[in-house]
Amino acid sequence: MAESHLLNIPSSNQSENESDSVICPELDDWWKIVYSIVPTYIDTICVIGMLGNALVLFIYSLYKGSLKIAEIYLINLAVADLIFLMCLPFWAENIRNEFNWPFGNFLCRSTSAATSLNMYTSIYSLVAVSLDRYLTFVHTLSNRAIRNKTVAKGICLLIWVFGILVSIPTFAFRTVKHFPQWNISACALDFPTPLWITAERLVFNIVGFALPSTAIVFLNFCIIHSLRENSREQRALRTKSCKDHRDTKATMLIFIVVLMFLLCWTPFHLFTFLDILFQMEVVKGCIWEELVNFGQQFTSALAITNSCINPVIYVFVGKYFRQKVLQVFSQFIPCRFSLSWVSLKEKSPYFNLFPVRSSLT
């Protein structure tokens, strides 16, 4: 059967569906493409993502200034992505091996749980940073007691605890199971009853995506509305403070991070929902079965892509992150060159665009 998590075994290809008497096509050649292309793509994403997220953590750990609230959430996101990316080579080899899991029971459980943990911690970190931006722009006068670093770190801790709790069933019920119809031993979920399977998929779809995505979209819609109202007022008064400019730049970075997450993960969750409908026999037939199978394989590859995108966004969109990169790497530059570098920064109008303090307040 098709399963509702990343990189799982496909459903069996039946020769004929008794309910609609449609002859199912032979798709062995298409699966050979999956076995060859998807693992290479995963390995590429793994290398790029690990380098990028390691760079993000390296910069934030060596930056001498104090971290801002939104940066705490972004670090949380980078840690979750890095843990997930460390597990990807196992799944790439699993697909290359035609879903015959070669790494034993513990790695089957732990890498599957890490996948689940990444998904929950990532999306709820984005809820938290969207809420932080919402409090910054929509409730600016009543947020001082809530918006502080201690609260942000506490929220991050709660997100990790929640992610671990909801990933426990994945760790407990994942196992290397033999499937005689394919003659493979695959890393698969082995629940006691079919009802558990449906319940787990619904939790994954609703709690893991639908509810937090709705919150993210609502919060960001309110932020955009507030920014437009502020922009109208500032144009009417013909004033614009430096702080407002920095806050807007920082918020645009968050918008892009959120947008890319939704673009990467939404297709996979749509196919997960189709899989729920198929298992409940709301939709029937081998055509639907194969659509769900192939859809989950390729949309899971798209979802994985999100884990390496954020560092690219920080470099190309985040002006203040680039400022931190310059300041951190200047620590490793020889003294004479460092003085020349500071002189260049003072003279260059490009570097004057970057304030010393980050706007991610």
Query: For the chain, how many helices (H) and strands (E)?
Result: 10, 4
Residue 76, C-beta contacts closer than 8 angstroms, at least 6 positions apart = 121, 125, 156, 159, 160
**pLDDT reported for residue 339:** 47
CB atoms within 10 A of CB 223: 20
DSSP type of residue 209:
I
| Structural contact between residues 311 and 53, judged by C-beta atoms closer than 8 angstroms | yes
Q: CA–CA separation, 81 vs 46, rounded Å?
A: 10
Examine residue 95 and state whether it is found in any structural domain, yes or no.
yes
Going from the C-alpha of 295 to that of each of 107, 210, 216, 278, 300, the distances in angstroms are 25, 19, 25, 13, 8
Q: Is residue 7 part of a domain?
A: no
| Nearest alpha-carbon partner for 276 in 204, 186, 178 | 204
* In a domain? residue 92: yes
Instruction: Read off the pLDDT band of 140 (50, 70, 90).
Output: low
Q: Please compute the mean of the pLDDT values over residues 122-137 and round it to a whole number.
A: 89
**What's the Rg (C-alpha) of the chain?**
24
Counting the structural domains of the chain, the total is 1
First vs last Cα of the chain: how many Å apart? 48
What's the pTM value of the predicted model, to 2 decimals?
Answer: 0.81
CATH for 293: 1.20.1070.10
Say whether 144 sits in a helix, a strand or coil: coil
Residue 23 has pLDDT above 70, yes or no: no
Sign of CA dihedral 212, 214, 216, 222: negative
- Per residue in 45-89, pLDDT (tens digit) is 999 999 999 999 999 888 888 888 888 998 999 999 999 999 999
Per the structure, the complete domain to which residue 317 belongs is given by 16-353
For residue 20, pLDDT over 90 is answered with no
Q: Please report whether residue 361 resides in a domain.
A: no
Q: What is the mean pLDDT of residues 338-361?
A: 42
154 located within any domain? yes
Q: Mean of the pLDDT values across residues 131-159?
A: 82
Per the model's pLDDT, the better-predicted residue between 100 and 335 turns out to be 100
| Whether pLDDT at 143 is above 90 | no
Minimum mean pLDDT range among 2-11, 256-265, 311-320: 2-11
Q: Please give the distance of CA 27 from its chain centroid, rounded to a whole number.
A: 31
Q: Where are the alpha helices (DSSP H) in 190-241?
A: 194-205, 211-237
Q: Does residue 275 lie within any of the structural domains?
A: yes
Mean pLDDT of the residues in the chain: 80
358 within some domain: no
Residue 263, domain member (yes or no): yes
Among 20-29, 113-122, 306-315, the range scoring the smallest mean pLDDT is 20-29
